[in-house]
């Protein structure tokens, strides 16, 4: 593997970046009036418009040269065929296998892994059907009405995002809830109104060692046993475990029949396609979940088989590389124009920043270029009333992804409501297109009444690059395509940057020292020299507050 800056075509790329540095998007559009035709790509349910990016034909050529030189086609093949692409952990990253149809095969270490994947899907289906048909009974004999997913990071964000995005496809019962926060606040809120007799918990953790989830699961177990007694029966009737570590699930008390397993070669943030997707299947039914897998698989095929210049994930990724390494734009906003995609930004924050927030190459050398941008987002229409001020007039350049479904509300029964909601959808699309246009062109190109003499605080300079992604409609199938698109985008960028997108060593040390810190808090060792003065001060402050509160409890 070679660092991006050591590739033979890097100087050409830098030259191109130098040339484009002062070029305004307004001029690009004037010079190339049919830019949309030249810069949009379409596959199945997705349309990717790159015409509002600060790129010209030479830019695309320079990027593609880098991609070929970085051996991107070979890397894609290595990903799909189960090579150990996760080098620091010496294992493959086979989330794509999770969506392969049952009549295909994929050998890893001499074994076809596809049958086991489909056996797990079948197991999932039988659990989903048992719960949804009311045959799964709690210890008091009542059917399950509510399922609570206890998980964090990849064991929460993907299912949470998908359940919210696909809520139009929900087939109740049961209601599905998500609890992730370590401090217990989400769980306490839920437990206040849930009925223990009819509540089922999914203990969802790849490692089954994550402190946040273990703490929430323990609180849930105690709540159940307080109300329902019999610990043994509770474990049988009120918990399902999802993990890559069956031994740990058994040790925690979850019976084998209620364990759904997946594999070490599925990264946490790539795991919603595995049994981690159980909440999605409970929410939209197993047929819907299989649609999600089918959409992702179709995108996988496109990614694997399509020439680089027509390949949606490749071109989306190269556009990112251009913004970061060519134009030095290191902020990236994700702006869905559809309330159902509320949790997409949070999901992509983990997918992109946990994958590519790295500064060492695959050969463990330092990189001398920027990698993953700071990525954040919010529903576009709401963000218009919050942080778009910075997009339009701040000092930072930001690369934006505008995401929206082209069609919506077609199946609303009442004609009057359909008409009104269709209008709201049209308004939303209009805002989406208006914002990206203004960001691109600035105000003077759009409004002839804007005078050069206007005060500077009123001016919109434009030249902010953006990508627009349109889905035909938001369905399980199209969502599968959208998510696979971003997963592969991340992989392509990692390949160019020569970093490993499948490990996350940067999160380990924090977990380790939190354990020692908690021990010190319990033992009140807050003045020990092992802690720096800042941490000692904060610990002392909290302990004093607690002591004061204990004293006032005793006095009252």
Ligand X SMILES: O=P(O)(O)OC[C@H]1O[C@](O)(CO)[C@@H](O)[C@@H]1O
Decide: helix, strand or coil at residue 552.
helix
CB of 499 to ligand X, least distance (A): 16
Give the Cβ contact number of residue 408 at 10 Å.
21
Task: Give the C-alpha separation, 304 to 97, whole Å.
Answer: 13
CA distance 35 to 216: 52
Q: Which of 53, 100, 205, 478 binds ligand X (CB under 6 A)?
A: 205
Q: Between helices 278-305 and 72-80, what is the axis angle to 10°?
A: 140
206 near ligand X (CB under 6 A):
yes
Distance CA 306, CA 104 (A): 20
Work out which of 213, 323, 325, 478 binds ligand X, going by CB under 6 A: 213
Q: Does residue 259 bind ligand X (CB under 6 A)?
A: no
Near ligand X by CB under 6 A, which window of 132-140, 202-210, 457-465, 493-501? 202-210
Nearer to ligand X, 434 or 507 (CB): 507
Q: Which residue has the tokens 């997963």?
A: 487
- Residues 486-505, one symbol each (x = binds ligand X by CB under 6 A, - = not), give ------------------x-
- Contact track, ligand X, 47-86, x by CB under 6 A: ----------------------------------------
Which position among 51, 210, 464, 466 is part of the footprint of ligand X (CB under 6 A)? Answer: 210
Q: Which is nearer to ligand X, 99 or 206 (CB)?
A: 206
Give the residue numbers marked as catalytic.
354, 385, 511
Q: CB of 262: closest distance to ligand X in angstroms?
A: 10
Q: Which stretch binds ligand X (CB under 6 A): 37-45, 80-88, 205-213, 485-493?
A: 205-213
Beta bridge mates, 332: 375, 399
- Could you tell me the two tokens for 27? 């001029």
Cβ proximity to ligand X, 276 vs 327, nearer residue: 276
If binding means CB under 6 A, how many residues of this protein chain bind ligand X?
14
Q: x/- site string to ligand X, residues 8 to 47, per CB under 6 A?
A: ----------------------------------------
Of 23 and 359, which has the nearer Cβ to ligand X?
359
Nearest one of 327, 397, 436, 333 to 59, comparing CA atoms: 327
Pairing of strands 466-471, 239-243: unpaired
Q: Dihedral (C-alpha) 441, 443, 447, 450: value to the nearest 10 degrees?
A: -140
Measured between alpha carbons, how far is residue 512 from residues 19, 59, 286, 355, 505 in Å? 48, 45, 38, 21, 12
Q: Measure the CA–CA gap between 553 and 268, rounded to whole angstroms.
A: 43
State which residue, 272 or 391, has the beta carbon closest to ligand X. Answer: 272
Stretch 108-137: interaction string toward ligand X, x if CB under 6 A: ------------------------------
Comparing CB distances to ligand X, the nearer of 210 and 361 is 210
Residues of span 146-175 touching ligand X by CB under 6 A: 152-155
Contact status, residue 375 vs residue 348, Cβ threshold 8 Å: yes
- Contact mark string toward ligand X, 505..534, x via CB under 6 A: --x---------------------------
By CB under 6 A, residue 269 contacts ligand X? yes
Residues 467, 320: Cα–Cα separation, whole Å: 10
Phi, psi of 162 (to 5 degrees): -70, -40
Nearest residue (CB) to ligand X, 82 versus 154: 154
Following DSSP, what letter does each residue of 525-542 receive, concatenated?
-TT-TTS-HHHHHHHHHH
Q: Quick check: helix, strand or coil at residue 504?
A: coil
CB nearer to ligand X: give 96 or 213.
213
Nearest distance, CB of residue 153 and ligand X, angstroms: 3
Partnered with residue 336 across adjacent β-strands are 403
Task: Give the nearest distance from C-beta 150 to ligand X in angstroms.
Answer: 10
| Distance in angstroms (rounded) separating the CA atoms of residues 245 and 252 | 11
**Which chain residues interact with ligand X by CB under 6 A?**
152-155, 205-207, 210, 213, 268-269, 354, 504, 507
């Amino acid at each position: 593997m070679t660092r991006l800056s050591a590739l033979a075509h890097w100087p050409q790329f830098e030259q191109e970046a130098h040339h484009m540095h002062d070029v305004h998007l307004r001029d690009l559009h004037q010079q190339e009036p049919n830019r949309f035709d030249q810069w949009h790509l379409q596959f199945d349910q997705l349309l990717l418009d790159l015409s509002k990016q600060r790129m010209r034909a030479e830019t695309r050529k320079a990027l593609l040269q880098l991609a070929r030189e970085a051996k991107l086609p070979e890397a894609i093949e290595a990903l799909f065929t189960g090579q150990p692409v996760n080098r620091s952990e010496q294992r493959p990253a086979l989330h794509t296998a999770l969506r392969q149809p049952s009549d295909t095969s994929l050998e890893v270490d001499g074994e076809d892994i596809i049958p086991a994947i489909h056996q797990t899907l079948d197991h999932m289906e039988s659990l989903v059907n048992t719960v949804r048909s009311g045959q799964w009974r709690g210890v008091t004999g009542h059917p399950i009405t509510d399922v609570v997913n206890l998980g964090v990071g990849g064991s929460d964000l993907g299912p949470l995002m998908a359940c919210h995005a696909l809520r139009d496809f929900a087939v109740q019962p049961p209601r599905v809830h998500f609890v992730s926060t370590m401090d217990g606040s989400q769980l306490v809120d839920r437990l206040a109104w849930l009925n223990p007799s009819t509540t089922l918990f999914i203990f969802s953790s790849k490692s089954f060692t994550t402190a946040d989830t273990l703490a929430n699961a323990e609180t849930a177990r105690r709540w159940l046993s307080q109300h329902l007694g019999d610990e043994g029966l509770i474990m049988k009737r009120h918990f399902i475990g999802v993990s890559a570590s069956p031994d740990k699930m058994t040790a925690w008390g979850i019976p084998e029949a209620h364990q759904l397993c997946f594999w070490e070669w599925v990264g946490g943030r790539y795991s919603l396609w595995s049994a981690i997707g159980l909440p999605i299947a409970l929410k939209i039914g197993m047929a819907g979940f299989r649609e999600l897998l089918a959409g992702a698989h179709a995108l996988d095929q496109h990614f694997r088989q399509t020439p680089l210049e027509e390949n949606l994930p490749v071109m989306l990724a190269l556009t990112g590389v251009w913004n970061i390494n060519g134009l030095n734009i290191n902020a990236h906003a994700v702006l869905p124009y559809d309330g159902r995609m509320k949790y997409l930004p949070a999901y992509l924050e983990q997918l992109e920043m946990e994958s590519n927030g790295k500064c060492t190459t695959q050969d463990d050398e330092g990189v001398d270029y920027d990698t993953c941008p700071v990525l954040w987002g919010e529903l576009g229409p709401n963000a218009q009333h919050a942080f778009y001020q910075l997009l339009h007039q701040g000092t930072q350049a930001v690369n934006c992804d505008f995401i929206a479904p082209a069609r919506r509300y077609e199946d609303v029964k009442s004609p009057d409501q359909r008409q009104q909601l269709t209008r709201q959808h049209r308004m939303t699309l209009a805002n989406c297109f208006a914002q990206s246009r203004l960001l691109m062109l600035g105000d003077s190109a759009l409004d002839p009444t804007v005078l050069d003499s206007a005060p500077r605080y009123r001016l919109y300079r434009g030249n902010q690059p953006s990508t627009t992604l349109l889905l035909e409609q938001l369905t399980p199938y199209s969502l599968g395509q959208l998510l696979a698109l971003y997963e592969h985008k991340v992989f392509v960028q990692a390949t160019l940057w020569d970093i490993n997108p499948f490990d996350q060593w940067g999160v380990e040390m924090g977990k380790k020292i939190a354990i020692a810190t908690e021990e010190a808090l319990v033992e009140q060792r807050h003045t020990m020299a092992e802690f720096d003065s800042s941490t000692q001060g904060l610990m002392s402050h909290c302990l004093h507050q607690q002591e004061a509160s204990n004293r006032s409890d005793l006095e009252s």
